Structure formats: structure tokens, C-alpha cells
A = this chain, B = another copy of it.
Amino acid sequence: MDATAHLLERRRRTIGPYSPLFYSEPLHFVAAKGVWFTEASGERYLDGYNNVPHVGHANDRVVRALADQAATLNVHTRYLNDRVIDYSERLLATFDDGLDRIFFGNSGSEANELALRISRQLTGATGVIVSDYSYHGTTITLAEMTTGLQTREPLGAHVRAIRIPDLDHDDRPEAEVLAETLAAVDDAIASLQEAGFGVSACLFDPLFSTEGMPRVPAGLLSAIAARVQAAGGFVIADEVQSGFGRTGSHMWGHQYAGVTPDLVTMGKPMGNGHPMSAVVTSEAVLDAFGSRNEFFNTFAGNPVSAAVGEAVLLEMEEHDLMGRAQRLGRTARERLNQLAAEHDFVSSAKGTGMFLGLDFTVDGAPAPQLARRVVEAMKSRNVLISRIGRNESVLKVRPPLAFSDAELPMLLDALESSLAEARDEA
């Protein structure tokens, strides 16, 4: 048995055979630095996929902050500690007025759970509106509103899933598409009210990442938000994928989408891989929830997490990673547009900032196998990407924000060759 087969067998006998692995032949990484992985074989791979190592794998500033604070003090928030307050102030300063209070957690699931818990308590309602191809976490409550991957739980009776339109796949006028979607939202609200659930919240990723980055009608999310708020519900922006400057133009996806949420949740890139998350909200919401619940989370807001989170923000600022994402994203998007024009099986380029994709369509139908072949062809060129969307037919290019001018041509050249290879195979 070779080393990989042996490791796979040990893996099967511990974390089990269902723990997901990427690629038909999985990769075994032993190190990573910046935007480069090193495989057990010694081969290097360019990371065009992972958003968690936001400021780069093994970032020096983050590792130093982690190590220094862990060697000094790591404790819960029931003793006073200034690290968590320093970090809270710095993070909250990136939000618009009215979003100025924070709860910490340890994962995106915990953040979305808390946002939904707060919404249920403060509205007295239980109904929730989500997108019909989305994923917000692993808990029972979140599994009952999961439409974007397989869970055993059926959609909850109190959940309504709205199909998010994609103008790239809809020839009708934008206003007509918008009106149709908003009518579906109105129906969902009426249905939740008639069933006695009421409307506690809508929960959306402002970029609709899992959905495949649809090109939505202008003002869609703010119009949905207005309807939900008019029905007494809260608007939750799940910024686990869209936040921390990913769009290039805005620190937060809800700012990009032009919507003012009641609650913002964040996770993945927040600690560059250190398990941490947060819910940002208003003073009124925090006080209403805090005064009625003894709420405490053991690990959340510890000084090590705070030091790490602060290092991420400092690193973003020092290297203007958001500005870089905008600049590189524009270059990349132009090239993707060109590739879409050149390849008949690429119906459109998708995305913004450093979250980009190509939509594969053959004879008007989604082409997931082509997308899969391109992902594997990119791997054979030592570049990691993935795919998303309800048909897994949209390439997902979402590298660490530390991606630079040096690497972008490598990724785009590899993509061009991989498309040519996929076309030749097709």
C-alpha cells in the first residue's frame, strides 16, 4: 500500500469514509505559505480556491499575533481584557452607522444560529426566508433551511426558499425578472403569515455564492429586505463568504448589494483559519437579547482570537488587500469575459472582486461535467479552483485575498489552457 492509500485507510477508520475530499485523486498538503501549497510529493500548487487564509497561508503577522498572545493569556470574557475590546472597536469601525455592537462565536454556524435565535426572540415569529440554493451551517436549525447541499432534514415547515434569478440565464427584461422574484417573496411572506409562523428573518449571502453568483436585477436584495422588514422580520446578511473586502469595492457584501441588514454574520476569513466568528448588530438588538438571556460562549472573544482577528485587519490595511482585490479582480474579470466570448460552452463570466467564475452551458443546459473536467485540468496545472451553483456548472475562483499581480497571470493562463483542453475533449 502506498503512503496515500495508507493515510486514506487510517482516515476511513477515524473520521470516516464520508468526510469529503476534493478531486478524484485527493491532494495531500504538508505546508502552505502565502498563496502556495506544498504537496507531500514536493509539488507546489497555486491556491485559487481558499478564502479562509484571507491574508495568505501562514501569514507572518497572524502567526506571530497568535503565538504571542497564546504565550501571554488565553481566557474567556468573564474577566476584563482589553484585546477583545480593541479588536471589537477596530472591526465595528468598518460598518455603517447603526451596526455598532458585536457578539463573538467560533464558526459561521454559531453566528447564523445566534442571528436566527435573536430574530425569533425579538420578532416573536419563526418563519424564515432563504434562497432556494444556499447553505448557512451545520446545526439542526440551519439544516432545516439548507437547500444547497444534501441534508436528511426536509425543509422546515416554517421555511420558504426563493429562487434567485440570474439575468445571464433569463432573456426577459430586468424589471420583469425583478417583479417576478418580489412577487415570490410576497407570496412567501403571506404564506408564512397565513400558516401562523410569521416572519422572523430572511437570511442571504449578499453575493449568492453557493447559488453560483447569479447576476441579479439591480436593487433585488434591498427590495427583498424592505418587504421582510415591513412584515416585521429581520434581515440577516451572511457575510461568511462575501465579507472582509472580498468584493473589492466594499468591506461588506451587504454594502456592495446596497442593503442595510439588522444582523450581519461573519466567519471563515475572519481569523485567517483560526476558528472565530461574529454577529454584528445594533445597540437596541443587543440590549433586547442580552437583557433577556444569560448568553455566554466559552471560547468566543478570547484574547488569542482577538489578536488574530486584529492581525488580519492590520494586514488587510497595510497591503490594501481590498483595493488589490478590486484591481486584480477587474483584470481577471476582463480576461474571463474574453474567455467567455471565445468559448461557446462558456455562457458567461461571473462575480466581482476576487470571487469569480465561468458559467458552463452546452445547448442551453448546464454543463457540470465540463466544469468538473476544467477543475481537474487546473489541478494538473497545479492550480486549485472549484465549482458552485445548483448544477455545479459554475467555476469558483476565490483565492486568498493576498493573491497578487505575480500569480494572477499564472491562474488565468492555466485556465485558458484548461478550457482549450476541455474543449478538445468535448
Contact = CB atoms under 8 A, between A and B. Distances in A.
Given A103-B15, A297-B138, A301-B15, A73 B30 contact: yes
- Interface size band for A: 35 or more
A14 interface: yes
Interface in A262-277: 267-268, 272-276
A79 B27 contact: yes
A106 interface: yes
Given A4-B80, A66-B70, A296 B151 contact: no
B85 A32 contact: no
Interface string A19-34: 1111000111111100
Copies in the complex: 2
Contacts of A89: 10, 14
A405 B96 CA distance: 54
B63 A70 contact: yes
A151 B16 contact: no
Most chain-B CB neighbours within 10 Å: which of A102, A108, A298?
A298
A70 B73 contact: no
A290 interface: yes
Nearest to A299: B275
Interface stretch (A50-58, A159-167, A336-344): A50-58
Interface string A217-253: 0000000000000000000000000000000000000
A417 interface: no
B297 A85 contact: no
A216 interface: no
Nearest to A281: B16
Contacts of A82: 7, 28
Contacts of A110: 106-107, 109-110, 138-139
A73 to B, nearest CB: 5
Contacts of A14: 85, 88-89, 92, 101-102
A141 interface: yes
Contact of A116 (B37, B140, B149, B274): B140
Interface in A57-111: 57-58, 62-63, 66-67, 70-82, 84-85, 88-89, 92, 100-110
B139 A107 contact: no
A245 B143 CA distance: 34
Given A52-B76, A107-B297, A297-B107, A276 B275 contact: yes
Interface of A: 4, 7-8, 10-11, 13-22, 26-32, 37, 50, 52-53, 57-58, 62-63, 66-67, 70-82, 84-85, 88-89, 92, 100-110, 113-114, 116-117, 120-121, 138-141, 143, 149-153, 267-268, 272-276, 283, 286-287, 289-302, 304-305
Given A28-B82, A32-B75, 7 more contacts: A16-B101, A16-B283, A50-B76, A57-B75, A58-B71, A58-B74, A105-B107
Question: What 3 A-B pairs are tightest by C-beta distance, nearest first?
Answer: A18-B290, A67-B67, A14-B88
